[in-house]
A and B are shown apart, each in its own frame.
Chain A
Amino acid sequence: MAHEQQDAANTGAYLIRGAAILGGAAEDLLIRDGIIAERGRDLAADGATVIEAAGLVALPGMVDVHTHLREPGREDAETVETGTRAAALGGFTAVHAMANSTPVADTAGVVEQVHSLGRAAGWVDVRPVGAVTVGLAGEQLAELGAMADSRAQVRMFSDDGICVHDPVLMRRALEYVKAFDGVVAQHAQEPRLTAGAQMNEGEVSAVLGLTGWPAVAEESIIARDVLLAQHVGSRLHVCHVSTAGSVEIIRWAKGRGINVTAEVTPHHLLLTDELVRSYDPVYKVNPPLRTNADVEALRAALADGTIDVVGTDHAPHPSEHKECEWAQAAMGMTGLETALSVVQHAMIETGLMTWADFARATSTAPAGIGRLADQGRPLEEGEPANIILVDPAARWTVDPSAMATMGRNSPFRGMELPGKVVATFFKGHPTVLDGKLNTPYRYPAEAQAAGTAGAN
C-alpha cells in the first residue's frame, strides 16, 4: 500500500499549461517520470494532472550555493528537514549545506550523514560542502579527497564563516582540489583587520560606536586569492561578495581569464548599514551590510555577470541569539524563503535583469559551480524536471513566524515583496503546490525500504 502511494507520488504526470518559459512566450511543459517529456503549445494532458499556469513564469529550480542547515549539532536552530522544507517553498531544488556544523563536515562520515539526511527529507537535493581545514581551524587540510569520493560526492569546499587566511594553506587547497574538479569557496575576511568587528566601517559605525569591519579586509583577501588561483590554475569561488571594491577586483580577475566565480546574497542586494542604527541584531550578518554605493555596485555586477550567482547564506539562529545586545548577537539572517522575492524586487523590477538572467544567476551558474549535472538545466524535452512556477504579480508581506525555517531572523520582516513560488518540481515531483508544501520526493531505494517496512 505504502509502496503504491510512493510510486504514485513520484511517477505522477503533470501538464503545466501556459507558463511563460523563463519569462518568454507561454508554452506547455509535460512532466513524466522525472523528466520534461514534452515542451510545446497545446499539449494533450493524456491523463496528466493539469496545472493552469497562465500568468506564471517557469524557471529551472533554484540552486543555492550557500545554505546553513545547522544539522548535525544545532538542531535547535534548524534541521535538514526544516531547512529543506524552507528551500522547497523558496523555489530551490538543490542547496549546498555549509560545513560549519558540529561536528564540522570535515570527514567523509559527516558529509555522508548530511547527504543521507537530505535524501531522507526528500525536499531538495542536499549537497554537503566539505570543510577545507580540519575543524575549520585553518591549520591542516581536511581529507578533501575522501569527501569527494564519498557518497556525498563533495565538489565544493569551504571554511565558511572563517577565512582560510594562511596563504600557503589556501594555495595548497586550491591546488589539491584540482584532482577531483573541486572548488574552494572562500569566506574572504582578513582576521586581523576584523578583530571584534561588528558592522561595516564607515560613517554609520563612527556614529554608533560599533567596531568597524573595513571593506579592505574582504578585498585584500579576494585580491590575494585570485592571484593564487591564477598562479596554480585552480578554480576559486568567492562567497557573499559585499563591497564595490571586491566587485572591481573580481572584474579585473575575470578580465585576465582567472577561473573565479562569485556570489552575492539577496540581503546585500537590498539592505544597507543604515539599518544598524536601530541596533536590532536581526541586521547583524557576516559580511556586514554595507553602503548604498556597495549595493548599487553589487546589483550592477550581478546584472553584467561579474558576480555569477545569488547565494542565500541562509543562517537561522534561535531567538535568544538575536534577542540581546548587538555585540552579543549571532551573525546571520534567514534567506531561503525570501531570496526569489528579494532578487525580483532588487534586480528584475529595477530592469537590471530578466527572468532568463535570473535563471542563470540562481540555477544554471550555481549548478555549474557545484558540478550538479541534473540541476540548472534548460527547460527542454528530456531534461530533468527541476522546475519552479513563479507568480511575478503576487505581493506578500514577510512574516518570519509563518516560515518553514526554524529561524525567525529575517531582516525583511514586515516588508512587502513581489513574487511568489507557486510550485516546485523536484525530479518531476511537486514538493510545493499552490504555494504550499506538498509531499517530499522519495528516492527509489528509500521508497522500496518504506514499502518493505510497511509490508512487515
Chain B
Amino acid sequence: MKHLLSTENLSLANAIRILDTAEEMAAVGDREVKKLPALRGRTVVNLFFEDSTRTRISFEAAAKRLSADVINFAAKGSSVSKGESLKDTAQTLSAMGADAVVIRHWASGAPHRLAATDWIDAAVINAGDGTHEHPTQALLDAFTMRRHWSKLAGLSSTGADLKGMRVAIAGDVLHSRVARSNVWLLRTLGADVTLVAPPTLLPIGVESWPCRVSYNMDETLEKGVDAVMMLRVQGERMNASFFPSTREYSRRWGFDDTRLRALDSLGLKDTIIMHPGPMNRGLEISAAAADSPRSTVLAQVRNGVSVRMAALYLLLSGDTREPAATPAATPDAAYSNAAYSTKESH
C-alpha cells in the first residue's frame, strides 16, 4: 500500500491489517503518555481545500501521537482563478520534503490525481474528495462496528470481519462520500448493507452496487438491522427539488424518536446508531437518538484517531514491516483485546 485513496480497491487483507493496527494504536491512546516514536522525523502535510476542522484535527492528533511533524495547509481557494493550481501546490509540498499528504478536496478524484501524477512522490491519504470517497471515515466506522459485533459474539475484534452484520446506511447517498466508502468496505468485510434514501438522493447506477436499496426506513428497521448509519443531509437540497421540505424528509427518512422507540419494540436491543458528524439534529437524526446509549457518535470520533494513526503508520513505515506490533512501537505487547471491548460500552 503506497496510498490510501479509496476503499473500493482495498483488499480484505489490507482492511483487516489497518483495523488490527488501529486496535494497537487505540491502546496508545489509553496510556498516560499517548505518544509513539514511530514517525519521528517524518513530515505529514494536511492539505485541506475544503473546511473540515474535525477531520483535520483528527489527522493532526494521529500524526502527532506518532511523533511526526505536521504542517497544516489550508488551501481554501475553490476555483482555479483564485490561485495556485493543484500541480503547483503539490510540487511545492514535494520540494519541502513532505512524506505524506493528507488531502481533503471538494473535487472528486483530486487525491487520485496527486497519486497518479509525478507532481509529488509522497504517500497520499484521501481525507474526503468531493462526492467520491472518504476511506478513513469508512475504516473508523468499520472499526466501531467491528468492536460492537465482536463483543456481541464474545470474540476478540482483532482479525475479525463483519460477516452477517446487517447495516443500514440512510440519507443523501447521492452526494455522500461516506456512503460510497462504507458500501465498498462493508462489502469487503462481509456485512449485509441496505441503503435507505429517497430515490432522488440515490445515484443512477446504484443498482449495480453490492447492497440492497430501500425507499422505506420503517420496513428496513422491521427486517432487522444491527447498525443504522445516518448520513448528513443538507437542508439546501430541497431548493434543488431533491425533497419537498426538511420536515417531510425528516418524517420519511430521518431517525426520529418514533423510530428510536421502534428499535426497542422490535426487540433490536443491540442495534447501534451511527453518524459521521456533524449532525443536523432534528433533520436526519433526533436529539434523543443522537444522545441515546445506542449512539456511537463519540466512539466514532475517538476511533478516528486510532484508524488514522494506523493508516499513517502503515503507509509511512513501509509495506515490508510488521504492523505496529513491533516491541519498539508497542512496549506493552502483551495487550489484551478484551480490554478494548470493555471500553466501548455502547
Interfacial residues, chain A to chain B (CB-CB below 8 A): 198, 201-212, 214, 278-280, 320, 323-328
Contact = CB atoms under 8 A, between A and B. Distances in A.
Which of the listed residues B110, B132, B203 has the most CB atoms from chain A within 10 Å of its own CB?
Answer: B203
Contacts of B206: 206
Interface in B185-221: 203-206, 208-209
Which of the listed residues B107, B117, B209 has the most CB atoms from chain A within 10 Å of its own CB?
Answer: B107
B133 A278 contact: no
Nearest to A276: B109
Nearest to A280: B116
Contacts of B133: 209
B132 A324 contact: no
Given A203-B205, A326-B107, A279 B112 contact: yes
Nearest to A320: B85
Contact of B204 (A212, A279, A280): A212
A203 B80 CA distance: 29
Given A326-B107, A327-B130, 14 more contacts: A201-B205, A202-B205, A206-B209, A208-B109, A209-B108, A210-B108, A214-B204, A278-B116, A320-B87, A325-B107, A325-B110, A326-B109, A328-B79, A328-B107
A279 B80 contact: no
A174 B309 CA distance: 64
A429 B315 CA distance: 62
Contact of A207 (B8, B86, B112, B117): B8
28 contacts: A198-B108, A201-B205, A202-B205, A204-B205, A206-B208, A207-B205, A209-B108, A209-B130, A210-B108, A210-B109, A210-B132, A212-B204, A214-B204, A279-B109, A279-B110, A280-B113, A320-B87, A324-B80, A325-B86, A325-B107, A325-B109, A325-B110, A326-B110, A327-B106, A327-B107, A327-B130, A328-B79, A328-B86
A390 B94 CA distance: 47
A311 to B, nearest CB: 28
Given A279-B109, A320-B85, A209 B132 contact: yes
A384 to B, nearest CB: 46
**Interface size for chain B: under 10, 10 to 19, 20 to 34, or 35 or more residues?**
20 to 34
Interface in B107-130: 107-110, 112-113, 116-117, 129-130
A185 to B, nearest CB: 29
Contacts of B148: none
Contacts of B87: 320, 323-324
B146 interface: no
B112 A209 contact: no
Which of the listed residues A201, A279, A324 has the most CB atoms from chain B within 10 Å of its own CB?
Answer: A279
A325 B204 contact: no
B108 A202 contact: no
Given A324-B85, A324-B87, A212 B109 contact: no
Which of the listed residues A201, A208, A212, A320 has the most CB atoms from chain B within 10 Å of its own CB?
Answer: A208
B64 interface: no
Nearest to A212: B204
Contact of A212 (B85, B106, B177, B203): B203
Q: Which 8 A-B pairs have the closest CB atoms?
A: A279-B109, A206-B205, A209-B132, A209-B131, A206-B203, A203-B205, A325-B107, A327-B107
Nearest to B131: A209
Given A202-B204, A206-B205, A212-B203, A278 B112 contact: yes
B3 interface: no
A287 to B, nearest CB: 16
Nearest to A323: B87
Nearest to B79: A328
A325 B132 contact: no
Given A209-B108, A210-B108, A279-B108, A326 B113 contact: yes
Nearest to A328: B80
A430 to B, nearest CB: 41
A400 B164 CA distance: 51
A198 B203 CA distance: 14
A36 B266 CA distance: 88
A221 B275 CA distance: 42
A201 B113 CA distance: 21
A209 B126 CA distance: 14
Given A201-B204, A323-B87, A325-B107, A207 B116 contact: no
B17 interface: no
Contacts of A279: 108-110, 112-113, 116
Given A207-B8, A208-B108, A325 B205 contact: no
Contacts of B109: 208, 210, 279, 325-327
Contact of B108 (A278, A324, A326): A326
Nearest to B109: A279
Contacts of B208: 203, 206
A168 B256 CA distance: 49
Contact of B203 (A205, A320, A325, A327): A205
B180 interface: yes
A326 B113 CA distance: 8
B56 interface: no
A209 B177 contact: yes
B308 interface: no
B215 to A, nearest CB: 17
Contacts of B129: 209
A211 B87 CA distance: 23
B204 A205 contact: yes
B105 interface: yes
Interface in B140-195: 177, 180
Contacts of A214: 204
Nearest to A203: B205
Nearest to A327: B107
Interface in B2-51: 8
A207 B107 contact: no
B180 A325 contact: no
A214 B105 CA distance: 25
A348 B46 CA distance: 52
Contacts of A209: 108, 129-133, 177, 180
B214 to A, nearest CB: 17
Contacts of A210: 108-109, 130-132
A209 B7 CA distance: 14
A278 B79 CA distance: 22
B222 to A, nearest CB: 27
A202 to B, nearest CB: 5
Contacts of A325: 86, 105, 107, 109-110, 113
